[in-house]
Amino acid sequence: MTIEEALKVAREIGTWIHGQTDNSEVRNERRTIMAASAMQHVLDIADAIVVLIGENLQGVALTLARPLHEGYTQSVWLLTCATEEQLDKYSKGICPKLQTLVKQIGDDPETGGAFIKGMTEKNISDFNNLTHGGMAHTSRRSSEVGIEQNYGEEEIFALLKARNQYCMLTAFFLLTIMEKKNSLLELEKKRSEWESALLMSRPCCKR
């Protein structure tokens, strides 16, 4: 598969999810509204990654891996385990640090916690380096012919797979709180259709 073919699948995933979730109603309660809003932002970050790679801005796309992960983690925390006091603080712009969120969410595969914990432990150092620049990008911007973008294709494929996985997981939570049972059934079929474009072929969360 080429990068362009991978981008085509990523766009298909994004288009389907937006078609199922955009302009949809959720329960009029603070927790649900906060979580759904955070999840919609996660989908926007995911869309931006595809746009940037399509414009050959691979380094900038990689800087969004950390916001994608942290945004998803925050949204799951808001929906599943934030206390009312924490929701009060969050509404004022105060959010616990990532490690605190991960600890509170836990590592149960059925809640999605195992995926969040695994991605954090395996990738957070790289996510930080890519977001803050420095040698993570400097070392990838030179080649035998001069100073130019020189990111490996395997990195871009990995980013797109991760992006697609976060999209599918976010869609699962959004469709659940939107109570769209038929769309959830279709999501499972789509998971099989797009299996090769995802990090994981099976769902890692249930509600």
Return phi, psi of residue 44, to 5°. Answer: -65, -40
Return phi, psi of residue 143, to 5°. Answer: -145, -175
Amino acid identity, residue 65? A
Average pLDDT, the chain: 92
What pLDDT is recorded for position 200?
A: 62
pLDDT in tens, 148-190: 888 889 999 999 999 999 999 999 999 999 999 999 999 999 9
pLDDT in tens, 95-127: 999 999 999 999 988 778 999 999 999 999 999
Residue by residue, DSSP assigns 114-177 as: HHHHHHHHHHHHHHHHHHH-THHHHTTS-BTTBS-----HHHHHHHHHHHHHHHHHHHHHHHHH
pLDDT in tens, 190-204: 999 999 999 864 444
pTM: 0.91
